[in-house]
Copies of this chain bind each other. A is one copy, B any other.
Amino acid sequence: MGEEKTGRVVTSADVARLAGVSRATVSFALNNTQQQRVSEATRAKVLAAADQLGYVPHAAARSLRAGRSHLVLMPVAAMAIGTAVSDWIDGLQSEFEQHGYTLVLHVGRFSDPVTAARSWAEIRPAGVIVLEAENLTAQGAAILRRAGIKAVVSLASRPVDGVFTIDLDHASVGATAVEHLVARGRQTIGIIMPEERGLLAIAEPRLRGAQEVASKTAATVTALSMAYTAQSAEALADDWAERNLDAVFAFNDNYASLLLHALQNKGYLVPKDVAVVGADDLVQSSLLRPALTSVALDAPTPKQIADTLLSLIETGSAPEVRSFKPVLVHRQSS
């Protein structure tokens, strides 16, 4: 690369000077502005000057001129990323890159959906992908729309006005776990609610689904608060006897394996004394002794998400995407 050694900030004016063209021509040449044509010879001259100076166009300036941004914003709790979804996020980034968009993750946490939507709107992304449906209300969607953001995709069990909703029902994860436990003859079922901020958006619908199933049977469900720490798992195991529970659905496989180990360390036999079911079918689950029963959540592929969002950005509409349902992976722990 022919970049100069200077540390000075390089602007489009420097590129214009070196190429011997106007600053507007530099802008037209670098931004492929449809309305303004420059000759291929001029474009080549500008590109050579930009390369020589190491000039990088400013995406924000480009988005203001072109009337749109090339950022796709995905708000997500950092705690919810982990190994389970990292390949999925990588795949999503690759899909967007192929189309000239950049995916950025917003890991902020907000007091309410309106504050969240205002914060996302300020960045003026081309599109927003909402994985935690509780963070997006009709009022939040209206804020995004008024900011000119038309492409909003949400993975949720209930449609929000003005949002393209892909049906992914966390309630059915809790329902599937409890249906399985009841079918195995369990009657008193604990439901782990993680104390970590940002996970309640997933844990609450899972609890709701568990309660709905239990209400139709003789089984009872009890919500149990647990932090993702060894101390919290051990504290739950310490008091386990007085709870009279014969099963536990432990939010996901991370919490389930922590609790499984803590219960075993106290001398409980799994599944004889207590059946344990996780969710997300994480990598370690099949290797645990006993191997962990889990509820696997089928989810849209990165390409399905990206194609939907890009279609919304470019045409204002997108074809319907099928619903996603959980699948029970039965192993030895239940």
Q: Which residues of A contact B (CB under 8 A)?
A: 1, 3, 5-10, 53-61, 63-64, 69, 71, 73, 77-79, 81-83, 85-87, 89-90, 93, 97, 102-109, 114, 118-119, 121-124, 139, 142-143, 145-148, 162, 196-198, 228-230, 233-234, 254, 257-258, 261-262, 264-265, 283-284, 286-289
Question: What is the CA–CA distance of A102 and B106 in the complex, to the nearest angstrom?
Answer: 8
What are 15 A-B residue pairs whose CB atoms fall within 8 Å in the complex? Answer: A3-B139, A7-B142, A58-B64, A60-B61, A77-B86, A78-B87, A79-B87, A81-B82, A82-B83, A90-B107, A102-B123, A105-B106, A105-B107, A258-B284, A261-B289
Task: Please give, as numbers and ranges, the residues of chain B lying within 8 Å of A122 by CB-CB distance.
Answer: 56-59, 102
Q: Which of B58, B148, B286 contacts A230 (CB 8 A)?
A: B286
Q: How far is the CA of A179 from the CA of B261 in the complex (A)?
A: 29
Residue A283 contacts which of B3, B5, B228, B288 (CB distance < 8 angstroms)? B228
What is the minimal beta-carbon distance from A160 to any residue of chain B, in angstroms? 13
User: In the complex, what distance in Å separates the CA atom of A55 from the CA atom of B106?
Assistant: 21
A104 to B59, CA, bound (A): 15
A230 and B287 in contact, given A56-B121, A77-B86, A86-B78 (Cβ under 8 angstroms): yes
Q: Are A81 and B71 in contact (CB under 8 A)?
A: no
Q: Decide if A3 touches B90 in the complex (CB within 8 Å).
A: no
